[in-house]
Structures are given as C-alpha cells and as structure tokens.
Amino acid sequence: MKMKAYQEMSKDELLALKNKLETEFENAKGMGLKLDMSRGKPCPSQLVMGMDILDVLTSESDMIASNGFDTRNYGVLDGIPEAKVLMAGIMGVKPENVIVFGNASLPIMYDTISRSMTHGVMGSTPWCKLDKVKFLCPAPGYDRHFAITEHFGIEMITIPMSSDGPDMDMVEKLVASDESIKGIWCVPKYSNPLGVTYSDETVKRFAALKPAAKDFRIFWDNAYAVHDLYDDKKDELLEILGECEKAGNPDMVYEFCSTSKISMAGAGVAAMAASKANLDFVKKSMTIQTIGYDKINQLRHVRYYKDMEGIKAHMKKHADLMRPKFEAVQKVLESELTGLGIGTWTKPNGGYFVSFDAMEGCAKAIVAKCKEAGVVLTGAGATFPYGKDPKDSNIRIAPSFPTPEEMAKATDLFVLCVKLVSVEKLLAE
Amino acid sequence: MKMKAYQEMSKDELLALKNKLETEFENAKGMGLKLDMSRGKPCPSQLVMGMDILDVLTSESDMIASNGFDTRNYGVLDGIPEAKVLMAGIMGVKPENVIVFGNASLPIMYDTISRSMTHGVMGSTPWCKLDKVKFLCPAPGYDRHFAITEHFGIEMITIPMSSDGPDMDMVEKLVASDESIKGIWCVPKYSNPLGVTYSDETVKRFAALKPAAKDFRIFWDNAYAVHDLYDDKKDELLEILGECEKAGNPDMVYEFCSTSKISMAGAGVAAMAASKANLDFVKKSMTIQTIGYDKINQLRHVRYYKDMEGIKAHMKKHADLMRPKFEAVQKVLESELTGLGIGTWTKPNGGYFVSFDAMEGCAKAIVAKCKEAGVVLTGAGATFPYGKDPKDSNIRIAPSFPTPEEMAKATDLFVLCVKLVSVEKLLAE
C-alpha cells in the first residue's frame, strides 16, 4: 500500500488522523512503558559476555608485564608495552605512538583541553591567556564533546555533516583564516549519532589542513573503530596519523579510543595516539599528574583479548547482540514512516546510534511526547553545540541497552509520537 | 664506648679517619650493591599479601552495588555507596562528604589545582586570571605536591616543620595578610618525610584560620591514615572536616586518601572528602570530565576488606612487614652515628619514611656518594619546594621496598657516606 505523505493531506484528513493518533497515544500511555534509549549504554547480556576478563589474573606470575614490571606496583607512566600494542591495533597505529590511560577516553579528552588551557600546546600560549578560543563542531555530534568545550568557555562553531563527514570546504576555509580556531571534534567512524564514516577524501583533506593556528589540533575520537554491525558491510576508515605525516602535518592530530564499549563500560582501558612530539609534551604534564594508571586492568585486557584477532572475535559476538536491536528499529521506522514525508533516518553499518531527522521544529515535542508515555530519548538538541539544534529536527536513538523486543515497542511508540507531533505541526501552519 | 664528636677532632684525627673511611668506601663499592631507597614503593611481599582481592568478583551477582547499580556499566559519577563508606572510614569522616575516584589520589590533587586554575573555587576568579597565586609548603615535605604547584606556576613559600606540624604562627600570619595565598599542602599524619603527626592544637589552629582569600583551601593529604608501625605506639590525628565545621570554616579543607599503600600501589581506589558545597562544585566539572571511575575496582576493594576492621587487620600484616625494615635502619643509624654530631634522624610511629638531617651543606654529596656505590636515595633537595633545600641537609630514606637485610646493608653504606662527607666538610672548613 502506497502511503500518502502528510503534506498532501487535506485539513480534514489531518484532523481525522490526529484524533486517531491521539487515541492510540492514550492507549500507549496506558501500557506503562519504561524504556531508556537515551545513552549508548551496553546491555546486561553484553556485560555478561566479557565476564571472564575478571578471572585472567590470579597467580603471582600472572602479574608481570612483558617489560618485567610488576603491574601491581607504582610506576610505568604511559602504559605497559603489551597494552600499547593492543590499543595501537584497535586504532591501526604504531605502539610507539600510543599512551595507555585509565578506564575511559572522555577524561583523556577533557584533560587534553584542560592542559591546553593551562599550558598551551607544545610551547604555544596557554589558551586561558587568549581572548578567544574557538572549536569547530561537526553536528549532529557527540554531546559530551560539546560539553567539554563549553565548560572551558570555548566558542563552538557548528559544521554541517554529510554522508562523507564534515563539510570540508567550510572546515578548510575557517581554520586557514582564523587563528583562534584551535581544534575540531571528530567521531570519524560510525559517527555519533549519524553512523557516518569519513570518506578517504575527507580524511586526506583533514590531514592536509593548513590551519592559521600552529596549536590547532584535530580531536579524532575513534570510539567505534571495531564496532561493525555486519560481516559483509564494514566501513573502512583511513588511518589519520599516517596521513597527517604524509601531508607534512605529523603533529596535527590526537586520536582517542577505549575498550569501554568492548569490555566493560565502567572499567575499560583507554588510549591516545599522536606524534612523538605531542606525546612528549603530554607526558610532561602526565608525570606531574600521576605515577601511573591502573596497569592491572591494562594487563587483564591484554591477557583476555590477546590481540586484534581476539578483539575482532569478541566484537563479532557484540555485533550479534546489537544487530537485532538495530534491525528492530529499522523495521518499525520503515514500515511505519516510509512515504509519509515526516522523517528521515540513518541505516549505519556500525556504531551505537540511529539518527532521526523529524520535520523542522518537531524534535523537542517528539522527545517530550515519548517521555510522557515512558520512553526516554536523548534530549532534543543534545547533538548540537550548546544543546541547540537550529532546526529542532535531530533525534538520537540509542538501541544498545534495551532488548530487541523492547526496542520494537519503544520504536512503535516513537513513530506514533513522530506522526502525532507532525500532524499537529502541519495543522498549526 | 662513648663516641667522639667529629667537631671535637683535631685535623690529624680527621685526616686519619678520612683515610680509613675512604678505604672502607672503596671496599663497599666493590660489593656491587644495587639498592633503591628512593621512593615509598611497596615491596613484593606486600603486594602478595593482597593478591586475593583479584578473586573476590567472579559471578554475575557479585557485580551489583548496594544501590542496585551494575558496576560493569556506565554511570555513578561519585562512587558506589559502599566504597564511600569504606573510604570515609579511613578518613574518619561521613560517607556523604566523600567522592570516590580512580586508582590514586595524586590525580585528584592535580585535578583540584587544575580546576581551580581554569574555573576558580566555588565561584571565585579562576586562578589563571590572577597575576599571582601562592601556596604554603611545609617542608621537608612531599616532592610530588611541590611538583604540582610548580607545574601550574604557583609560587611556593616554605613553612618550617616541627614535631607538632607546620609553624602555625607563620601560617596564620601569612594567610591572613596575603590574598594571593590560595592553599597549603599538608601530610598531617606520619608526614612525608618526617613521620610527624600534627598535634591537636595544630589541627585546631588550621581549622580556625582566617584567610584573606575566600578561595583558600587546606590540601590535607591523609596518605598514611592507617599506616601505623606499632600496636602500642599509634599517633592519633584529629579529624579536620569536623574541626573546620566547628570553627565556622566548613568549606576550607579538601582531604585526600587512597588505598595505594593498602591494597595495590598501581590499582588502588582514591577518594576526596570535603563539605557538600565543595563536593557540589567539584562534581560540576567531574560530570563533564568523566562518566564514572572504575566501579568494579571500587567494589573489589569493599568486598575484600569489608570494613574498617578488615582494613585494620590488613594493615597489621602490613606493619609486620614494614617494622623490621624501619628497625634495621634505626639500629644502624643509632649504633654508627650516635654521639658523632654529624646527623639527626626521625623515629616515626608509622608512615613510609625516615628523615635524616646531615650537617649543613652535606646532603647532596651524601646522596651522590651513595649512588656511586649502588644505593639510590631520593634526590637531595626533593623534600623542599623547587627541589632546593636551603641548608642542603635533609635526606629522605624510604625503607619500604628493600628487605630488612638489604635495608641494613644499604644503611651501612649510607652511614659510611655520611661519615666520609662530614669529615671532608670539616676538613674543608
């Protein structure tokens, strides 16, 4: 059955539809749903999957790292060698370009900005001494990135996203002309929330940027490096450190990654990759900040996953858990919204999110309606700097936590809310 | 046998002694010692003692915290409730005054200074916007404290230490008169390196300070809160949060502690205690910096130690390991140096260090001589701001890592070097 687009309906048709949808919504409210699709949070079965990691270190001899160092003791600032190898594998870089940190990558990114504020970047003026510091923020993007820059009073400039990545014409022009632009936030693979992987051309254009500020850095948050959903449809991301080096910009990028969404969300291992010059500068502060991160947990990860083959095998099981949830969302969206002209959405090959674009001016109302009936979504606007979506259109759907059945139910409610809010919007015009 | 003080010897006696000591030193060098007394690092047997902590979490049901939260997942910014209780017990404060962090307390202190630089303290001007920020540094003190303030360009003012703690007349006068003084570093119990515990009067005078700067804070690093050496000689430290509250200064103190020297030096749990107003301010940045610290490791600690009784029982075993090392040092120092007039030293009831004061102008030479013969000590001067001991006299001895036998050997060499350098000094006068 061909669906009629809402925009083609007469006022009477819309009013009749509104009545019908309102009844459905009241019924849905009565179901007492309580579902959370707000954050990219692993589900219980995913956590069970990796439980054995807690049992790999038991005896005295287990505790010694490959450099002979006792992981239980103080020391080893930048991570045990085998953890560098493992994390380098995930990012596709060389172990000597890696520092291994604590349980998550967010604090590394925060600390990187914080250090730039107080100590500058490889000899540059501390950003807190400058009148103005700006960051480019491809959006829709990751709310926690934007929260860091906002927290430090850094002015954020929104950069539109396409299926190839950020609008590189705009990025190139801005960084070349404005010395106060010190960085750009990127989630280059299965981006949060679009699920877009930057094209080779985009990565090469990033690597070839000619920023006016010599302390400009690309913040390359490779959070979903190994988070494919399908065996036969995998996005490939060009490795940026090598590209930057080739382009004569070896120091222009910091890459971040973690095992938070591989092993344990609360107790993973995180890492940063960058040029030696960058790492040397980072270590100058690091050696004051800490004697060393939790090396036992680093070793635990290496002993459990062993190598990239181990990570890949684990992530296949991860994909088997995630795929049905994503498929449940896609199925409902397709069957309920195709042809209605009231929303578009992404069909990513990996990552943690589906990104939905409602009609302009509808996102906040849809999120509020969902909440009214017990389904919590990421706050509308969260995917934009300052929490302000100029079109009030983008909604991030995070299918990782609920079961596939719950996801289907939650998406049923979601499409109902999209329809109802869209009808109301059209009637008000 | 009554020893003759070196100062009472004739030049000929000193020359003869020098010859004898030089021969002894050459022999000692031939022994090929390789001992490290430089850092307060736990020894292998201490690490073995706590190995079972790695086995307490094995099943699914083990992983749930008392608030029903799955410790494996994202969330719980300020620590699981039972970890707050445990860390509060160590500090003698209420759990509601505690935030539990990651694997060590040094990063909490660093972050606290860093946050004050960029965001001020509870509404005050960010310190990076001020012309001058100063810290008081009781010394001899902890080199890593001084390294943090130096790293942020904070001017350090040395405060002399007595057996009751810092010179409070000086502290009171300075903080009351100078608004640029924003903090003071304290290790109030079994202080690093003196082993001094602040007297009740000192703590009360701290709590009653009337600082000119409303963003002045006492940085109370209670690193050795439960690190007694003897059952029958335990220092008691007055709890400062309560004292500050009584004195009408509830927000004036941050307290820090960790289990680094209780469980695993590299993989402990650390905490901060402060007033609700302070904690609320800290959490404003923390919620941007992290989704949560490693809660599995927090839970592991609680399940292993259970409560303060468990901690105390563990620390008794810890004391049994440490005591013979301290006694080995004391025995050699007493038998070899008593009455010679060339050095004084502390006999602490707990903590990790013995502090030695050589004749003025001798510390650097003694440390260098020891190194020449294979015994590494903390760098002379390290216990003072900017690494500069004005008298070049203080040397920190850290007996925790070597065995008692090694400690005896190392101290034998140490006293030989003290004698030789002192004779050379007297001859050069």
Q: Which of B69, B109, B262, B289 to mutate to test the interface with A (most CBs of A within 10 A)?
A: B289
Torsion of CA A294, A300, A303, A305, to 10 degrees: -100
Of B75, B104, B126, the CB nearest to A291: B104
Q: Which positions 184-213 of B are in contact with A (Cβ < 8 Å)?
A: none
For residues A418 and A13, is the Cβ–Cβ distance under 8 A?
no
pLDDT of residue B22: 98
- Identify the bridge partners of residue B395 per DSSP, sorted by sequence position: B356
Do the Cβ atoms of A41 and B103 come within 8 Å? no
Q: Write out the two tokens for B324.
A: 């013979």
Q: Is B125 on the interface with A (CB under 8 A)?
A: no
**CB proximity under 8 Å: A 396-415 to B:** none
Binary contact (A297, B297; C-beta < 8 A): yes
Give this prediction's pTM.
Answer: 0.97
For an interface test with A, give the residue of B74, B100, B108 to mutate (most A CBs within 10 A): B74
Q: Is B359 left (phi over 0), alpha (psi -120 to 50) or beta?
A: beta
Query: What gap in Å lies between CA A15 and CA A27, rounded to an integer?
Result: 19
CB–CB of A73 and B293 under 8 A? no
In angstroms, what separates the C-alpha of A411 from chain B's closest C-alpha? 23
CA distance A143 to A138: 11
Closest by CA position to B398, among listed B387, B411, B415? B411
Q: How far is the CA of B269 from the CAs of A57, A405, B293, B294, in angstroms?
A: 19, 39, 10, 9
Neighbouring residues of B328: CB distance < 8 A, sequence distance ≥ 6 = B399, B404, B405, B407, B408, B411
Return the residue of A nearest to B299 by Cα.
A267
Tell whether B68 lies on the interface with A, counting CB pairs under 8 A: no
With CA atoms as reference, the chain A residue closest to B145 would be: A288
Chain B residues inside the 8 Å CB shell of A102: 102-103, 293-294
The answer to whether A209 touches A294, Cβ cutoff 8 Å, is no
Give yes or no for B428 touching A (CB within 8 A): no
Residues of chain A with C-beta less than 8 angstroms from the C-beta of B58: 54-55
Query: For chain B, what is the total number of helices (H) and then of strands (E)?
Result: 13, 13
Q: At what angle do helices A168-177 and A200-207 cross, to 10 degrees?
A: 0
Enumerate the residues of chain B whose CB falls inside 8 A of the CB of residue A75: 41, 266
CB B243 within 8 A of CB B78: no
Amino acid identity of A346?
A: T
Which chain B residues have a beta carbon less than 8 Å from that of A118?
A: 114, 117-118, 128, 152
Residues facing B356 on adjacent strands = B345, B395
Residues 6+ apart with CB under 8 A from B211: B175, B176, B181, B252
List chain A pLDDT tens, one digit each, 429 residues. 457 999 999 999 999 999 999 999 999 999 999 998 888 889 988 988 888 999 899 888 899 999 999 999 998 999 999 999 999 999 999 999 999 999 999 999 999 999 999 999 999 999 999 999 999 999 999 999 999 999 999 999 999 999 999 999 999 999 999 999 999 999 999 999 999 999 999 999 999 999 999 999 999 999 999 999 999 999 999 999 999 999 999 999 999 999 999 999 989 999 999 999 999 999 999 999 999 999 999 999 999 999 999 999 999 999 999 999 999 999 999 999 999 999 999 999 999 999 999 999 999 999 999 999 999 999 999 999 999 999 999 999 999 999 999 999 999 999 999 999 999 999 998
Q: Can you give the pLDDT at residue B38?
A: 87
> Would you state the pLDDT for residue B58?
84
Considering chain A, what is the average pLDDT of its residues? 96
Touching A: B residues 73-102, CB under 8 Å: 73-76, 102
Q: What is the DSSP string of A162-200?
A: ETTEE-HHHHHHHHHH-TTEEEEEE--SS-TTT-----H
- Work out whether the CA dihedral B366, B371, B373, B375 comes out positive or negative: positive
With CB atoms and an 8 Å threshold, state whether B41 touches A73: yes
Using CA atoms of B192, A107, A181, A213 in order, give the dihedral in degrees to the nearest 10. 50
Distance from CA of A12 to the nearest CA of B (A): 48
Minimal-distance CA residue of chain A relative to B150: A288
Task: Divide the 429 residues of chain B into consecutive groups of 10 and give the mean pLDDT of each group.
Answer: 85 97 96 89 89 89 92 94 98 98 98 98 98 98 98 98 97 98 98 97 98 98 98 97 98 98 94 98 98 97 97 97 97 97 98 97 98 95 97 96 95 98 96
Phi/psi region, residue A239 (left: phi>0; alpha: psi -120 to 50; beta: rest), is: beta
CA dihedral for B380, B381, B383, B386, sign (positive or negative) = negative
Using the Cβ of A246 and the Cβ atoms of chain B, whether some distance falls under 8 Å is answered with no
Phi, psi dihedrals of residue B351, rounded to the nearest 5°: 85, -160
Q: Å from B362 to nearest chain A CA?
A: 28
Give backbone dihedrals phi and psi of A58, rounded to 5 degrees, phi first: -130, -40
Round to whole Å and give the CA distance between A179 and A174.
9
The single residue listed with the structure tokens 């390359």 is A220
Q: What integer pLDDT is reported at residue A60 of this predicted model?
A: 85
User: Which residues does chain B have within 8 Å of residue A119's beta carbon, measured at their own beta carbons?
Assistant: 151
* Shortest CA distance from B146: residue in chain A: A288
**DSSP sequence for A239-294:** -HHHHHHHTT-TTSEEEEEESTTTS-SSS--EEEE--HHHHHHHHHHHHHH-S---
Nearest by CB to B73, from A47, A72, A295: name it: A47
Select from A70, A118, A129 the Cβ nearest to the Cβ of B152: A118
Whole-angstrom CA distances from A232 to A91, A199, A261, A329, B416 are 21, 18, 21, 20, 73
| Interface touch B290/A129, C-beta < 8 Å | no
Among B104, B118, B294, select the one facing A128 at the smallest CB separation: B118
CA distance B107 to chain A (A): 5
- ipTM reported for the complex, 2 dp: 0.96
A267 in contact with B, Cβ within 8 Å: yes
Would you list the DSSP string of B181-230?
Answer: EEEEEE--SS-TTT-----HHHHHHHHT---SSTT-EEEEE-TTTT-BS-
> What is the separation of C-alpha B98 from the centre of its chain, rounded to a whole number of angstroms?
20
Query: Which chain A residue's Cα is nearest to B294?
Result: A267
Of A70, A148, A289, the CB nearest to B110: A289
Of the candidates B165, B252, B244, which has an alpha carbon nearest to the alpha carbon of residue B201? B165
A-chain CB neighbours of B74 within 8 Å are 39, 41-42, 260, 265-266
Residues in B touching A293 (Cβ below 8 Å): 102-103
Which is nearest to A115 in space by CA: A295, A267, A290?
Answer: A290
Residue B352, chain A, CB below 8 Å: the answer is no
CA distance B295 to B75: 9
Residue of A nearest to B291 (CA): A106
Which of B48, B54, B221 is the best substitution to test chain A (most A C-beta atoms within 10 A)?
B54
